């Protein structure tokens, strides 16, 4: 059971943040014909799906969804994607994850996409923590939090509700 005092963002707040992120992505890519929304599996991909849905509603831009598979326990192993690299080459791409903690997952995701020339490359997260050990930043973020190193942020995506809380 989740302690209601530990809830950072409820479902309504998360939906509002996702909508705002989608508008920001559209604004910074309004001249594009296509945007690749690449979500880091699993929660980053769920977030990417939600962002893609809103982008499709608010813009005429073609949205291509991509799942990014990174071994979070051993990120040095090769990263793979659900689409071929020629499908995102020379296009605008937004790499999405749910929480930016140390930056490890995001930096290895960035590294993967740097092997192919991109037109524009941005990052988006729902929750940005300030404990980075890598020089990576989120261009689009739902909320920034200063938490202790011992605290952990969990984002739960269920069919009916999304919630972010502290453990």
Q: How do residues 45-66 score in pLDDT, each as one tens digit?
A: 999 999 999 999 999 999 999 9
Predicted TM-score (pTM) of this structure: 0.94
Cβ neighbours of 161 (radius 10 Å):
12
What is the count of structural domains for the chain? Answer: 1
Cβ-contact 94, 38 below 8 angstroms = yes
Q: What is the pLDDT of residue 2?
A: 77
> The domain containing residue 144 runs over which residues?
4-166
DSSP state at residue 76? T
Residue 26 has pLDDT above 80, yes or no: yes
**CA–CA distances in Å: residue 119 to residues 30, 33, 41, 107, 111:** 13, 12, 23, 19, 15
Q: Domain of 49: which CATH number?
A: 3.40.50.2020
Cα–Cα distance between 80 and 11 in angstroms, integer? 30
In degrees and rounded to multiples of 5, residue 165 shows phi and psi of -145, 165
- The per-residue DSSP string of 94-112 comes to EEEEEEESSSHHHHHHHHH
Cα–Cα distance between 68 and 81 in angstroms, integer? 5
Which whole number is the average pLDDT over 117-143? 91
């Amino acid at each position: 059971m989740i302690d209601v005092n530990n809830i950072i963002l409820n479902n309504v707040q998360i939906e509002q943040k996702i909508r705002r992120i989608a508008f920001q992505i559209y604004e910074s890519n309004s001249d594009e014909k296509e945007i690749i929304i690449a979500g880091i599996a699993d929660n980053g991909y769920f977030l990417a799906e939600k962002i893609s849905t809103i982008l499709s509603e608010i813009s005429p831009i073609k949205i291509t969804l991509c799942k990014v598979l990174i071994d979070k326990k051993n990120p040095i192993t090769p990263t793979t994607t659900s689409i071929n690299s020629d499908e995102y080459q020379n296009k605008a791409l937004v790499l999405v994850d749910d929480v930016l903690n140390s930056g490890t997952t995001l930096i290895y995701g960035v590294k993967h996409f740097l092997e192919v020339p991109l037109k524009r490359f941005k990052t988006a997260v729902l929750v940005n923590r300030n404990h980075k050990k890598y020089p990576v930043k989120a261009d689009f973020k739902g909320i920034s939090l200063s938490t202790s190193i011992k605290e952990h942020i969990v984002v739960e995506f269920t069919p009916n509700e999304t919630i972010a809380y502290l453990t």
